[in-house]
Amino acid sequence: MESGPRVRTWAAPAKINLALHVTGRRPDGYHLIESLAVFTRFGDRIEIAPDESDDFSVSGRYAPDVPLDGGNLVLKARDALRHAAGIRSTPPVAIRLEKNLPVASGMGGGSSDAAAVLRGLAESWGLDIDSAELARIALSLGADVPMCLAAKPLVARGIGEELSMVPDFSAVGLVLVNPGMPISTAETFAALSRRDNEPLPPLPRGVDFHSLRNWLEVTRNDLQPAALAMQPAIGRALSWLDKAGSGFSRMSGSGATCFGLFETGNVAKRAAAEIRSRQPDWFVAATRSMASEAG
């Protein structure tokens, strides 16, 4: 795709589950969760431009791991929105994905890509579609896609579709570390020893680095023990974050990405540089979460 004035770009931020409690299981097999999730300034990027025929291409560090066929959530999102809006309102587009996040890494990369495509195409095609309808289409693509569509600090419940935005949530510094091993979400859930755990405790009224760290100390990621048993390298990632001065370290989602909480972006950058120098083959990124209010 040629870069030009008609090309527009949308961010597909990483989703980090700061806490994830598994609270039950539905009769259809879906697990019930409660999770505090934030979205980071680092992530994938989506470019969209009009074209004579539909096209999809991928660039970036993790491009070789991305399927280019109909199994990709980017193409599923395009087709689902086209089906909802009608073919006449949805002319051909070229979509380019810059894949900066490792796949199957517990950061919602594919879901965030799909959400960015839904946002981007709704604007590019000039569709008269409200947020509720867009969220309905998002849920049809996967339980994580609606929260990625929101992309602000939130608590997700149910299978991930019941969203409550968290007000007064300040941006925090984060270091993301992935030792390079993809983990199957389904296998991690299947390995759980218990599925009826306590829900999340109430959040503090205003969330900043200190109150968040204190709150995280009394929460869990119920998937972490199972993932750690399957992939011991997760423990090494957590250890490196602790050594680099993380205020709090935990696995995100179903893994294998781990996060470290840092008070400022500069401290996070120094920590990331230290870990990267010791583990040059790992995915390591210093970033900041997005606050609840744009600023």
User: What residues are annotated to the active site?
Assistant: 15, 144
Amino acid 244 reads: A
Output the DSSP codes for 230-294: H-THHHHHHHHHHHTT-SEEEE-TTSS-EEEEESSHHHHHHHHHHHHHH-TTSEEEEEEBPPSS-
* β-strands 173-178, 154-158 pairing: unpaired
**Hey, how many other C-beta atoms are within 10 angstroms of the C-beta on 265?**
16
**Hey, how many other C-beta atoms are within 10 angstroms of the C-beta on 55?**
13
Is the Cβ–Cβ distance between 101 and 116 less than 8 Å? no
The sign one gets for the Cα dihedral 220, 209, 161, 99 is: negative
Tokens for 19? 């806490």
Tokens for 69? 């066929």
DSSP single-letter state for residue 207: B
